[in-house]
Structure formats: structure tokens, C-alpha cells
Amino acid sequence: MDKSLYSVVHAERLERAPRGLPLIISLEGFSDAGNAVDQLMDHILSDESMTLLAEFSNDVFLDYRARRPTITFIKDHLADYQPKKLSLYLGEDEIGEPFLFLAGYEPDFRWETFVREVSWIVQEFRVTVTTWVHAIPMPVPHTRPIGATVSGSKQSLIDATSIWQPTTQLSASVGHAIEYALFRAGHEVVAFVLLVPHYLANTQYPHTLTASLKNIMNATGLLFSTAEVEAREDAFARQVTEQIRENEESLEMVEALEQRYDDFVRERVREASETDEPDSLGEAEELPTADQLATQLEEYLARYWGENPQEGNGPGIAGM
């Protein structure tokens, strides 16, 4: 690694870190429907087994005016200055298996330099597989499992779990740049794009954390507990369902999304059985009608919470 780009927090631990580990990447700043990335980062970093190995230099990679640090003013002095961090950690899963975790903000500058540094980490530590997750809003119902678009080098995993496989151009993130570089270099890499219900994209949607953890486990062989998160899922889903039931129009919209989703899944299964190849959930150009439904539902839920501020402890649907 270029020592001008980072500071080593525990040099001995960095040097002695095991080789042949999976690498999980979680960078905030790109598409994060349902707060999937933030939840994953907080969940993994809350584990006491996480050890900070190195921090990348903010003066190299951070735009301070776009991501201003926080500082506390206490009566007559300043304290608790907290700039953003971009760091490499060593952690352990539920059964003590080690892994590397690169987490923090998406660099604002010098992407190619950062990608080279991540590629160096992958090569130096003989990383077995690199995986990352982000999430986008889609016109899908919350009553169905969160699907994903999967890309990378593990074709068997793509075939088994990639429910929507569009061909499109999109604005890239540094995660895409890393995935592209690692794939071209012949390293194992898997990316998951979670398809989050459009009308819940602005919430702290617990289902995205469960989906992130399960996909990462599938890609890496690591084991993470999801029991606590699944309990939050149940409570969240009940509140959303109760809100939607209060408005007949919204209930009809969800039912229409369910019907469309189920039709896509049936068509995918049918075509896969005919061609022996998995097909997409539906082409991008087929989605506007469902997208309009989801937008209307989002608007209703936003009005709901605006008209019912006393229920502000709920999931914060649509824009809260």
C-alpha cells in the first residue's frame, strides 16, 4: 500500500493478519435504498471482535465541504471533533472465522488510486472473494422477499439468486469500479444489488440488512446471526401492513404490485425451464406501470405520517 494514502493503526496486527480471507466492502454515499449499506456497516462494526487495522487519509479522499465533520459546542469550547472515516478492519463471524471489512465513505477523489489500493489489499492478503452490497428502489411489494441483481465471477451464485438481469447504463460508484477491476484481474468478486420496495426506500428497512447478511453468507461462507434483525422485520412489516390497510386505494396498489411480481416470477420460472437458463424478473422497459403504482403508494404513506405525527415512532415511511 502507498503509505501516503493511509495510516496504520495497528502495524503488528496488519502484518500478522491471516491471509486467504474474504473481504466485505461497505461504502456509503451511493444508492442506499432502505439504508441497506448504513445498516450493514453499523451491524458489523458493532461486533466487539472488529479490530481497526488502517485508516485511509481524509485529506486525500474526502471532500470536507460535501461531508462536513461534526463537532460539539459545549458552552464556551469545542469538543468531540468527528470527521468521516474510511477504514480497513479485521473481524470474526459467529463461529470465529476471520474476514476483512473495508467500510466508511465512498471516496470523493482519486478513485483510480483507491481502486489500485483495494486491488493491492486483495492481492497481498490473498483474498478468497470480495463482496459488496448496495440497494435501489424498485416497484416491488414489501410482502415478497427482497430479490437481488447479482454480478461478478461466481456464475453458479448468479444463476441461483439473480432475479432481475437488465442490460442498461448507469452512474457508476467506486464499488462498481472495484468490482470491474477485480473481475478483469481474475479475482473472485460478487456484488448484490438489493431490489427494495419503492415506497420504503427512504426508511430504515430492516429487511435489507437481513438480505445483505444472507447474500454475503452465500458469497463468502461466513456465518452471521440474523435472529435479532428478523424480529425487527416482523414488527416493521406489521406496522406497514396496518398503515396500508387503512387506505383502500393503497391496498389495491400493493395487490397490483404483488400480482405483477408474481407474474414476473412465474414467467422467469417458465422460461428457465424451457431454455434451462435463468431469465430476468422483467425487462426495465416493462416496469413503468408498476412504478407509477409504487409512486402513488409512496405519496399516500408520506401523507399518512404527515397527518399522524403522534405515530412518529413507527418505521418512518416514505420520506420521514
The residues near 244 (Cβ < 8 Å, ≥ 6 apart) are: 250, 251, 254, 297, 301
Query: How far, in Å, CA of 181 to CA of 175, rounded?
Result: 10
pLDDT in tens, 158-178: 999 998 888 989 899 999 999
How many CB atoms are closer than 10 A to CB 196? 28
* CATH number attached to the domain at 6-225: 3.40.50.10900
295 pLDDT higher than 80: no
Per-residue pLDDT at 314 = 44
Does 28 have pLDDT greater than 50?
yes
Tell me the pLDDT tens digit for each residue of 199-234.
899 999 999 999 999 999 999 999 999 988 988 998
Strands 70-74 and 51-56, by their bridges, are: unpaired
Which residues of the chain form beta strands (DSSP E)? 6-8, 23-28, 51-56, 70-74, 77-82, 86-92, 98-105, 130-138, 147-152, 189-197
Which cell numbers hold the place of 150?
447479482
Q: Is the pLDDT of residue 151 over 60?
A: yes
Under the banding of pLDDT at 50, 70 and 90, the label for residue 318 is very low
CB 105 within 8 A of CB 86: yes
Q: What is the pTM of this model?
A: 0.83
- At residue 277, does pLDDT exceed 60? no
Amino acid at 17: A
